[in-house]
Chains A and B, each alone.
Chain A
Amino acid sequence: MNSVHEAGHILVVDDNKVNRLLLTHGLEQQGHTVESVENGKQALEKLRSGDFDLVLLDIEMPEMNGYQTLEACMNDTALRDMPIIMTSSLDELDSVVKCVEMGAEDYLVKPLNPTLLRARVTASLEKKRLRDQQRKLFRTFANDQVADQLLREGFSLGGKYVTASVMFTDIRSFTALSETREPAEIIELLNNYFALMFDAITGHGGTVNQIEGDGLMAVFGTPIRREDHCEQAVGAALEMLELLDGFNREQAALEKPQIKIGVGIASGRMISGYTGTQHHATFTCVGDTVNLAARIEEHTKIAARPLLIDKSTREKLTGRVGVEALGPVLFKGKSVPVEVFAVTPV
């Protein structure tokens, strides 16, 4: 039995019984899970009901041929990203070129060469795996809407002015905490903590765009525009504090360290966009509003309040939360004092 890097779930589509058996058994030998059908119609039914990683598609078939099947897959948003390798005889190469232009991932000529079969299948599965990973990553760092927009439209580097809310969050005195604990325990603590914070943020339509050490930055109202970004940001912050309360109670019961956080939110105009290169880019927001949110978050230490917001955010809040004016504060690097408000749940 030969081994493979990544075993896949593969669908073989061929009207020819010998070819079907050959491919099915050959790929199973390489460690893959293989199913087979006789024509395009059956293939579409299978693909729509199962979770496949790769299709090997014959061109010449009765009922629904390879072209029609490929076309149907390309027009189906759920199947569009499924890699399809066309299988054909040497004298059908013209047709294969057409299929690759239509969106087929690759092709194999029958009679099959064992080395090429292995190489193309492995490469296609690897590409699929990377695409899936990219998609998962998008969904980790962005909410579903943003991930869908990115996957649908791609992204262009460069930015635009938007009106949005920015949130900075930090763990208070995390450094002191980390020096007294085992590294593995600290990482586990951080991961559990971030998982909770991400839930609260994405649940309110926000996007986490930076994690640095124990701190994170999230934005609301961009890249997907929404009018209620102030309320959503504050709602997310309150939920974060509530989730953290529960988390701390569990930690206390296990005699494990508890954490306190500070959250700062500011709203207003900022530049939002993707920075980096076409191969490595992050979604970022920059501008005075972003700096202000960071300063306000730092001020939670002095004010001894977990959640502080600026005036623009405060003005958009409805009566469902308690707000207390803490008066103007002169932040480092700012020439004018800024009104700061503490938020408490009602």
Chain B
Amino acid sequence: MASVIDANAFEDLKQVAGADFIGELIHTFLDDAPQLIKQLESALAANDAESFRRAAHSLKSNAASFGASHLSSLAKQLEMLGREKKLDEIGGGLKALEEAYQVAAQELKEMAP
């Protein structure tokens, strides 16, 4: 299966963090991201656009740092919906994001030293 992690972006991250720290950073992301996805779900249920936007923003930022480009761009679309208070237009957006996260998380887990 083709990699969903952008090698250049991941290399940059490794250089900023230090190679010995990358594992801890991956685990922090894998701990944090499910909570952010939960926040997206409950914000959507409560039609809380601001909370939804914040969670999507954080997810977008972290996914981009790890080179999970697809996940990041999906999160960015959700962030826009939150900003424009158009949560009703989400369609299958959240489900797509959850699937993209699972794929990226699996690959990152394997990359953690």
| CB-based contact B61/A16 at 8 Å | yes
Q: A113-B12, A117-B16 are in contact. Are A18 and B25 (CB under 8 A)?
A: yes
Secondary structure dominating the interface of A = helix
Whether B47 sits at the interface, judged by CB under 8 Å, is no
Q: Is the CB of A26 within 8 A of B62?
A: no
**Contact at A18–B54, with CB atoms within 8 Å?**
no
Q: Specify which of B15, B25, B28 is in contact with A114 (CB 8 Å cutoff).
A: B15
Q: Mark B65-87, 1 if CB is under 8 A from A, else 0.
A: 10100000000100000000000
Of B12, B16, B25, most A-chain CB atoms within 10 Å: B16
Docked-complex contact B21 and A111, CB < 8 angstroms = no
Q: Is B107 part of the contact surface with A, judged by Cβ < 8 Å?
A: no
In angstroms, Cα B54 to Cα A7, docked, is 34
Q: Which B residues touch A89, using CB under 8 A?
A: 57, 60-61, 64
B48 part of interface (Cβ distance < 8 Å): no
**Would you call A102 an interface residue if the criterion is a C-beta within 8 Å of the partner chain's C-beta atoms?**
no
Interface centre among A16, A23, A113 (most CB of B within 10 A): A16
Say yes or no: B16 contacts A26, CB within 8 Å. yes
Q: A111 and B12: CB pair below 8 A? A: yes
Q: Which residues of B contact A19 (CB under 8 A)?
A: 61-62, 65
Contact A112 B65 (CB under 8 A): yes
Q: Is the CB–CB distance between A21 and B62 below 8 Å?
A: no
- Assembly CA distance A62 to B55 (angstroms): 11
* Per-residue interface assignment for chain B, residues 1 to 41, with 1 indicating a CB less than 8 Å from any chain A CB and 0 otherwise: 00000000100110111100100110011001000000000
Instruction: Give the number of chain B interface residues (Cβ < 8 Å).
Output: 23
Residue of B nearest to A2 (CB): B18
A191 to B71, CA, bound (A): 65
User: A112 with B12: in contact, given A25-B21, A91-B76 (CB under 8 Å)?
Assistant: yes
Contact in complex: A114, B16 (CB < 8 Å): yes
Does A149 belong to the interface (CB within 8 Å)?
A: no
How many A residues, CB 8 Å from partner? 21
Chain B residues, CB < 8 A from A25: 17-18, 21, 25
How many contacts A-B (CB < 8 Å)?
62
User: Are the C-beta atoms of B65 and A21 separated by less than 8 Å?
Assistant: no
Chain A positions within 8 Å of B12 at CB level? 111-114
Residue of A whose beta carbon sits closest to that of B62 = A18
* Contact between chains at A62 and B24 (CB < 8 Å): no
In the complex the two chains form, is A60's CB within 8 Å of B57's CB? yes
B18 to chain A, nearest CB (A): 5
Q: Which residues of A contact B60 (CB under 8 A)?
A: 89
Closest to A26 in B: B16
B70 to chain A, nearest CB (A): 15
The answer to whether B64 and A111 touch across the interface, beta carbons within 8 angstroms, is yes
Which residues of chain B are within 8 angstroms of A17 by Cβ–Cβ distance? 28, 32
Q: Answer yes or no: A22 CB below 8 A from chain B CBs.
A: yes
B65 A110 Cβ-Cβ under 8 A? yes
- Bound complex: CA A73 to CA B13 (Å): 30
Q: Does A29 contact B (CB under 8 A)?
A: yes
B-chain residues with CB within 8 Å of residue A18 when the two chains form the complex: 25, 28-29, 32, 61-62, 65
How far, in angstroms, from A111 to B57 measured CA to CA in the complex?
13
| A91, B79: Cα distance in complex, Å | 11
Chain B min CB distance to A30 (Å): 9
Q: How far is the CA of A23 from the CA of B76 in the complex (A)?
A: 22
B61/A26 in contact, CB under 8 A: no
Distance between Cα atoms of A62 and B28 in the complex (Å): 20
The reply to whether the CB of A15 lies closer than 8 angstroms to some CB of chain B is: yes
A90 to chain B, nearest CB (A): 9
| B21 neighbours in A (Cβ, 8 Å) | 21, 25-26, 29
Contacts of A112 in B (CB 8 A): 12-13, 16, 65
Q: Kindly provide the distance from the CB of B51 to the nearest chain A CB, expressed in whole angstroms.
A: 10
B61 touches A110 (CB 8 A): yes
Asked whether A16 lies within 8 Å of B17 as measured between CB atoms, the reply is no
B-contacting residues, A92-142, CB 8 Å: 110-114, 117
**What's the minimum C-beta distance from A93 to chain B, rounded to whole angstroms?**
14
Which residues of B have CB within 8 Å of A16?
A: 58, 61-62
In the assembled complex, 11 residue pairs joining A and B whose CB atoms fall closer than 8 Å, in A order, are A16-B58, A16-B61, A17-B32, A21-B21, A22-B16, A25-B21, A26-B17, A26-B21, A113-B12, A114-B12, A114-B16
Which 3 A-B residue pairs are closest in the complex by CB-CB distance?
A114-B15, A26-B16, A111-B65
